[in-house]
Structure 1
C-alpha cells in the first residue's frame, strides 16, 4: 500500500511499543486513540513493514524523509486516507 497522496495511521501492539518504543520515539504521536505512528508510506516487505516519514511527521530537526522497518507481528491496525481527508481517519 503506497501512494504519494495518502497518509497512514499505524497502531502497534503493546509488545511493539515495549520492545521498540525508544527507537520509535522520534516518529510516535499521541492522540485520543493512544500512541500511534503517522507516515507517508506503508508497505509490507517480507516479515517487515516499511514506514516512510516526512520531516513534518517526525520530532526534531530532521530535514529529509526517513524510512524505518518494523516486524509485521508488532502491527495491530492500519488506516489510510488521502491528505485531503487525513483528519477523518481519526489519528490526527
Structure 2
C-alpha cells in the first residue's frame, strides 16, 4: 500500500500534447482530466511520476513518466486516496 497518493492535473497545453499518449492513464473528475499517481517527484529536470494503467487481461501495470514542469498545473497529495477530494 502506498504511504501517499498523488493526483497530477495537467495544463491545457499538457493535455493537448500528452493526452493522446496518456489516455489510458487519465481519469475524469469534477475538475476535468487528471493522472492518479503512486509516486510524484518534482525535484528533477522533468516531473517524475509513477502511474497505474489498465492491462488488457485485467490487472494494472505500473509505468513511469517524465513530464515537463510547464505541463503540470497542480499536484495534490494525501495519505488517504478519498481525501484528495475529486477521485
State the TM bucket, normalised to the shorter chain.
0.7 to 0.9
Cα RMSD after superposing both structures = 1.6
Q: CA deviation at 1:91?
A: 3.0
Q: Which runs of 5+ in 2 are unaligned?
A: none
Gaps of 5+ in 1: none
TM-score by length of 1: 0.81
Q: How many residues align?
A: 84
The two structures have a TM-score, normalised by structure 2, of 0.85
Give the equivalent residue in structure 2 for 1:52: 50
Superposition pairs of residues 17-56 of structure 1, within 5 angstroms: 17-54=15-52
Choose between structure 1 and 2: higher helix proportion. 1
Q: In structure 2, what is the Cα distance between the partners aligned to 1:59 and 1:91? A: 20
